[in-house]
Amino acid sequence: MSDSTNDEASLMERPRSMIRLGLIVALIVMIMDQASKWWMLEGVGMLGNPRVIEVTSYFNLVMAWNRGVSFSLFWHEAEYMPYVLSAVALGIVAFLLSWLRKADRPFLAVSIGMVIGGALGNVVDRLRFGAVTDFLDFHFLGYHWPAFNVADSGISVGVALIVLDSLFGGHGADRGTGGSAKDK
């Protein structure tokens, strides 16, 4: 095989490996999210006996149902709302999957995978319960951050990493497109 054939094969394999990496990260985040929610609802018994469990002076385990999105934005009691929010989340996941196909660096693939896994974890809750299970409650001097879950953490950290990647990573002007300017 010539060097150019090897280079082409390498270029074709890299996006596949980035897709695989991103999807593995998404699956891990989703499994961790669903396992932690199951543990809170069934293992700790929050589903049948919601309460505040003080873990430290700044962290509690609580039972909260979020019928909206981040910080309960778009909260609505309409029966169709979980389906609307799930459809929006799945649309975002579709966009992220197309972006993941173009990712050419592991850092970006992992970041996108974290957001995908978190979004899918919360979709499972919305379709199963009509709301997202939140249970992590951090507080300081009487001020509480809104309760959240592992999926929310995956989304937040993934988005922060995507922003960092867009600012400091990549190939310059065509970042995230799967190639450098000299490749075009």
Helix/strand/coil for 76:
coil
152 is catalytic: yes
Closest CA to 26 of 143, 127, 124, 154: 154
- 138 strand-pairing partners: 59
Q: Which of 134, 137, 165, 183 is labelled catalytic?
A: 134
The set of long-range contacts for 73-81, using a CB threshold of 8 Å and a minimum separation of 24, is 79/130
Q: How far apart are CA 58 and CA 55, in angstroms?
A: 8
Strands 53-54 and 132-140: unpaired
Closest CA to 28 of 118, 90, 99: 118
Q: Which of 33, 125, 137, 152 is labelled catalytic?
A: 152
82 — phi, psi (to 5°)? -60, -35
Active site residue ranges: 134, 152
